Amino acid sequence: MLVLVCLMGVFVATPAQAEDAKPLNIVWLSVEDMSPWIGPYGDNTVPTPNLDKLAAQGVTYDNAFATSPVCAPARSSIITGMFATRIGTMQMRNGNPSSAAVKKNPDAYKDIPGYEGLPPAWVRCFPEHLRAAGYYCTNNSKQDYQFKAPKTVWDESSNKATWKNRQDGQPFFAIFNHTGTHESKGFPKAKRNPPAMKPSALKIPPIYPDTPAVRDAMARTYNNIAAMDKWVGQKIKELEDAGELDNTVIVYWSDHGVGLPRGKRSCFDTGLRVPVIVRYPDGKDAGTRSDRVISFVDLGPSALSLAGIKPDERLDGTPFLGEHATERDDYRNGYAYANADRFDAEREQTRSISDGRYRYTRNYMTDVPYLLPVAYREQIPMTYDLYKLRETGSDDPAHWQFVAKERPAEEFYDSQADPWEYKNLIDAPEHQERIKAMRGKLEAWIKDTGDLGFVLPETKLVKEHIWPKEGKQPTTPAAVETPGRPKGTFGLHCEDPGASISFRISKTGKFSGPWRVYTNGLINLPEGHSIQVQTHRIGHKPTIVVKKLNDK
């Protein structure tokens, strides 16, 4: 447990920080709905000079994968370091019905409850540990964690949040999230970016029919990528202009694959394989590539490791960066796992495993098509060209997944020989040994995580696993004062071991500004001052209390 003595807003360095006068800053540049269709991965359809430069100065990871091909479940794994299927965050979304789905069908959520994910009591959102160690943590600005984040997670989370607001000399962890590549930027009503290439010059992936709507969707995707590259350059220049580039680790990543049909929401490389580029300030491993298989559950532990904090070994994630980088010796070593369950109101149940080259997938619902009728996605015009294939058929074998009205129970692909994964090799004699091994790894993952995606209906999940026994959300117990404290100090305790405790101090009784992380130390609270305390276990309702110290 980290211990931090909080003296009216002044951060006191932990012993690890005292030894290193200048801890590394960490900046995440995250983009949405984007496969590795950029220069560092060999796709030069549009110029990406800033990403090319970042890769030349850093490490490009060739085998990085999302834990789910859709944002909210994937982001829940990033922020906690836990698989969504273990903590009940695998459905898209848990508690926020899609307006597009409801507009299409007012009864779409009739049997779908609203709830939050619930990690084990010892799990915290990883920035809380960074803040406890003295880091200034900001998020600009998407959360979407499948639960309400405790106040301990961020110093600031908004579309104006920036590392520039930290105290002098304070190390920082900052996320900047670019929405310009999101699926919705391909909707007809979305503003178009300047053309970076001609639609007629596009090479259409073999899985898609060559239609005007497909070409337009592909062109918009690449135009958005070109615009995103300029944003990357701007964010790096801000660090350089402030003199922070030489002390900052930059991690660039996307939250899942491309926001086109058979990308987003699909357990193929097009939905799960993502770009990850890491630039070290000292030029370490500049211009190199890594074939290590990394997963979204690894990102949070790696941020902690870069800051010199040893991640809890019980986490599903494994740090691949920093002084605590290591490898697993169990089923997770060398493999990335993913789930696909409910997308808005449409349901499937798919589990998938990749070793970077080969992908084994198990479809537990075989009576549904690959392209589910998700109302939100139907705002992309090309979706209807793919629906048409299901009705008319196609002679092109690369289109079979769109033509199919049901799925095979098992699939196996060689993504090196077949990068668009449409040649199902599940019955190939030469692959049976590998298929057997990967099937066993997938089953081990499902067993170890206690995969909550199989607890259906979701009303049963809520009543038996999330909020037993009535299925009603509990409230986190209020903080109580630590007995025996010295005069003029304040200590706090919560009977729920899963509770994060945050506080603010005020002389006037009016509270503002960021909440501070409480980590078992004593707080200096002068006589007449008030303290506002929030206890919040992830998945439960928070509790806020205000107390005033009147020592005589």
Could you say which residues of the chain have pLDDT below 50?
1-19, 551-552
> What was the pLDDT predicted at 550?
54
Give the whole-number percent of the chain exceeding pLDDT 70. Answer: 95
The pLDDT, as a whole number, for residue 96 is 87
CATH code 2.60.40 region(s) in the chain: 480-548
Give the tokens for residue 33: 């709905």
pTM for the whole structure: 0.95
What single string gives the DSSP state of each residue in 119-174? --TT---HHHHHHHTT-EEEEES----SSPPPTTS-SEESTT--GGGSPTT--EEE
User: Where in the chain do CATH 3.30.1120 domains reside?
Assistant: 340-466
Calpha distance 207→421 (Å, rounded): 9
Q: What is the pLDDT of residue 82?
A: 98
Q: What is the 3-state secondary structure (H, E, C) of 354-375?
A: ECCCEEEEEECCCCCCCCCCCC
Q: What is the pLDDT of residue 552?
A: 39
The answer to whether 118 and 146 have CB atoms below 8 angstroms apart is no
Known catalytic membership, residue 71: yes
Q: What is the pLDDT of residue 549?
A: 63
CATH number, domain 22-97+114-187+221-330, options 3.40.50.720, 3.40.720.10, 3.30.70.2660, 3.50.50.60: 3.40.720.10
Top-level class of domain 480-548: mainly beta
- Could you give the residue range(s) of every CATH 3.40.720.10 domain in the chain? 22-97+114-187+221-330
- Identify the pLDDT of residue 95: 83
375 vs 99: CA distance, rounded Å:
9
SS3 305: helix
Question: What's the pLDDT score for residue 521?
Answer: 86
* Residues 144, 33: Cα–Cα separation, whole Å: 14
Cα(99)–Cα(107) distance, rounded to whole angstroms? 12
| Predicted pLDDT of residue 483 | 85
| One CATH from 3.40.50, 3.30.450, 3.30.1120, 3.20.19 for 340-466 | 3.30.1120
What's the rounded Cα separation, in Å, for the pair 231 and 440? Answer: 43
Which among 71, 137, 267, 494 is annotated as catalytic?
A: 71
